[in-house]
Amino acid sequence: MAEISAVSGMAARQVRPDPTGQIVPPVLLVVLATATLLPIGALLVRAFLGKDGAFVGLDNFLRYGAEPGLVIAAWNSLSLSMIATVIAMALAFPFAYALVRTAMPGRGIFRLIALLPLLAPSLLPAFGMVYLFGNQGWLKGWLLGESLYGPVGIVIASVFYVFPHAVLILSAGLSAGDQRHYEAARALRAGPWRRFVTVTLPSCRYAAISAASIAFILIFTDFGIPSVVGGSTNVLATDIYKLVIGRFDFEMGAVVGVLLLLPAVVAYGIDWLARKSQRAMITGKSVPIRAERLPLRDLMLFLFATLVAVAILGIIGMAIFGSLVKFWPYNLSLGLQNYERLFTDADEFRALGNSLILAFGTALAGTGLVALSGWLIARKLGNGMVRNGLQGVAMMPVAVPGLVLGLGYVFFFNNPANPLHALQGSLALIILCTVAHFYTVPHLMVVNELLRLDREIDLAAQALRIGPAGTARRIHAPVLLPTLIDVAGYFFVNAMTTVSALIFLFTAQTRPASIAVINLVEGSRIGQASAFAVVIMALSMVAAAIQLTLRHLVIRAQGWRRQTA
């Protein structure tokens, strides 16, 4: 040791073992399995049991098949979801293409407008449509005598609902191409159209399959839209509600749950395969796409995007306008009486408070759980089998419709034999269900962010005698912080706007605002329902704004993120 001294106190130091990797994963696995796997299992089992709890084989399914009305609902769900998916894709593809592959002006604004409906309950566009095309709508004639209430309304409102989701997935897929393919095609003298057909279309086919699958699942399992504009057209999502709440036929409800779950699982499987293939197509060496300027094409797409943007803003604007109108359609003078009721009526006001508690609770609990599960998986802590179990349980909710999860909660937690029975009817259970419902996407956000951090960083820390918990606090947490802000925002907005999982779980005391909207529709109070939906959207926008600001501030405060070398 010539020039360098030894550190004092080294020899005296005891190495404390860090049990994080042994204790946390099994505990978390139990928590997450309770929130997802067990309730879904309870629903699947119930579909094969009779009223008395005895195994009856396929009896419930046969009973279901014998009711023509119910079978028609299944057909309606399938066919309308497919039609709406096709239309949504036909609109979303050129829109996404215009956003990421052209030099069209105003791309940023168009993107914002397209994503706007994500902040509103799925019902909001439906209200706008009621004001425009309903029985007393301004543009009723546009439907050529068809009634809005029924297949027409379901399809149009569903297209609006899934459009932003499809645009998001498609634009991600379209921006991930390789510029060199276009240069190679040009060198081979392919013109713009040929380049589009031979390079662009094949390179985004997986993104298209993925977007279509997700759109299908969302429409197929949505409860809000058919309950507002469905009229007498029955679909599975409304049937399950009627069977359970109206007829107390839990077994048949479970059967419909299985029927909702199966196509969703299949569609999710297709999406999963598509994403895997999409990833394989993008190599680390890809050269990013540079948008090409083609004046005629860009102009056409600009006109198209303007049309879509006007439609989105028109529908949402119409819902806002309708909520402000005194008495549609007879007294069109504006006033706030629909909003006043939300703050004066004790039930409605409580619903608003419940929604805020639900959203904050979900953001808090969800972010904590997701940070933990994503961290354990990305940093490979603990037993490999436990980790695989965790990953499976975390990935499951994305394929499970909210209605199915909610009904599963009823079966699982209403059971007096369950030690968690006491949770039944509480806001805590609603929060748990919402966290579980939206678990997968944030979980993957955390995993992907932490996977970008070299695995050897943890080994280097370990060699310096700092265990997983210490490394998490010192290194992983600061790196993950902006992602966690996004995760919290995602949970918050979804908890504000979700309906499906909660319609089986709320009580008079715990009813959230999104459910109150549905109840107002059932009472034919469209004005107040619209006002409530607008308030939900406004709160979501505030949350999104806070999320973006916070994220920006954090990133600016973390000087190490600036690249100057």
Partner 1 sequence: MAGLATAFSVVSEPVTSGAAAIAAPYLSLVGLTKRFGSAVVVRDVNLDVPRGELLCILGPSGCGKTTLLRLIAGFEAADSGSIRQAGSEISALPPEARDFGIVFQSYALFPNRSAARNIGFGLETLPLSRTERTARIRELLALVGLEGHADKYPSQLSGGQQQRVALARALALSPGLLLLDEPLSALDANVRASLRDELRQLQRRIGITSIMVTHDQQEALSIADRVVVMNAGRIEQIGTPAELYQRPANLFVARFLGEVNALPVTSISGNIVQAGGHAFRLGGSPVPGGSAGYLCFRPSAVRIGMEAAGGAAGTRGRVSSMAFLGDRLRLEIQPEIQNGGPFVAEIPFPRFGNPPGLGDHVTVSVEPDQLFLLDDHG
562 scored as a contact of partner 1 (CB under 8 A):
yes
467 binds partner 1 (CB under 8 A): yes
Among 144, 280, 417, 464, binds partner 1 (CB under 8 A): 464
Residue 555 is a binding residue for partner 1 (CB under 8 A): no
Indicate the DSSP class of residue 501.
Answer: G
**Span of 325-333, 474-482, 488-496, 501-509 interacting with partner 1 by CB under 8 A:** 474-482
State the minimum distance, in angstroms, from the CB of residue 488 to partner 1.
20
- b/e map 108-147, b = 16+ CB within 10 Å: eebbebbbbbbbbbbbbbbbbbbbbbbeebeebeebeeeb
In the complex, the smallest distance separating the C-beta of residue 556 from partner 1, rounded to whole angstroms, is 14
Distance CA 376, CA 372 (A): 6
Quick one: which of 232, 288, 454, 524 contacts partner 1 (CB under 8 A)? 454
Q: Which is nearer to partner 1, 239 or 449 (CB)?
A: 449
469 sits near partner 1 (criterion: CB under 8 A): no
Greatest extent of the chain over all pairs of C-alpha atoms, in Å: 95
SS3 state at 274: helix
What is the pairing mode between strands 331-334 and 325-327? antiparallel
Binding-site string for partner 1 from residue 5 to residue 34, where x marks contact by CB under 8 A and - marks none: xxxxxx-xx-x-xx----------------
Of residues 108 and 559, the one with the C-beta less far from partner 1: 559
| One residue of 31, 457, 544, 555 binding partner 1 per CB under 8 A | 457
Beta-ladder partners of 102:
292
Looking at residue 226, its amino acid is P
**Based on CB atoms, which residue is closest to partner 1, 281 or 457?**
457
* Residue of the chain from 27, 139, 313, 460 that contacts partner 1 (CB under 8 A): 460
Closer to partner 1 by CB, 276 or 465: give it.
465
Per rule CB under 8 A, is residue 473 in the interface with partner 1?
no
Instruction: With contacts defined by CB under 8 A, name the span among 129-137, 165-173, 235-243, 459-467 that binds partner 1.
Output: 459-467
Q: Which is nearer to partner 1, 66 or 464 (CB)?
A: 464
Number of residues that bind partner 1 (CB under 8 A): 41
* Near partner 1 in 434-453, by CB under 8 A: 453
Using the minimum distance from each CB to partner 1, give the nearer residue, 189 or 285. 285
Judged by beta carbon, residue 417 or residue 565, the one nearer partner 1 is 565
Residue whose CB is less far from partner 1, 52 or 454? 454
CB of 477 to partner 1, least distance (A): 9
- Residues 387/25, Cβ–Cβ less than 8 Å: yes
Burial of 272 (0-12, 13-18, 19+ CB in 10 A): middle
Choosing from 83, 258, 423, 479, the residue that interacts with partner 1 (CB under 8 A) is 479
Compute the 3-state secondary structure of the chain and give helix, strand, coil in percent, each to the nearest 5.
75, 0, 25
Pick 8 or 283: Cβ nearer partner 1: 8
Under rule CB under 8 A, which residues in 282-321 are in contact with partner 1? none
Burial of 395 (0-12, 13-18, 19+ CB in 10 A): middle
Nearer CB in complex with partner 1: 258/481: 481
Contacts of partner 1 in 201-240 (CB under 8 A)? none
Question: Please, which residues have CB within 8 angstroms of residue 145's CB and are 6 or more apart in sequence?
Answer: none
Instruction: Choose the binding region for partner 1 from 40-48, 273-281, 472-480, 510-518 (rule: CB under 8 A).
Output: 472-480
Please, what sign has the CA dihedral across residues 515, 518, 522, 524?
Answer: positive
DSSP assigned state of 283: -
Q: Is 280 a binder of partner 1 (CB under 8 A)?
A: no
Q: How far is CA 371 from CA 364, 388, 452, 516, 537, in A?
A: 11, 17, 15, 32, 27
Least distance (Å) from partner 1 to the CB of residue 7? Answer: 5
**Shortest Å, Cβ 555 to partner 1:** 12
Q: Does residue 559 interact with partner 1 by CB under 8 A? A: yes
Q: Which of 79, 136, 331, 558 binds partner 1 (CB under 8 A)?
A: 558
Q: How many CB atoms lie within 10 A of CB 302?
A: 18
> CA 461 to CA 350: how far, in whole Å?
50
Which residue, 352, 391, 351, is CA-closest to 374? 391
Query: Tokens 């829109």 map to which residue?
Result: 95
Cβ-Cβ contacts under 8 Å for 98 (sequence gap 6 or more): 104, 107, 110, 298, 301, 302, 304, 305
- Residues interacting with partner 1, by CB under 8 A? 1-10, 12-13, 15, 17-18, 453-454, 456-457, 459-467, 470, 474-475, 478-479, 558-565
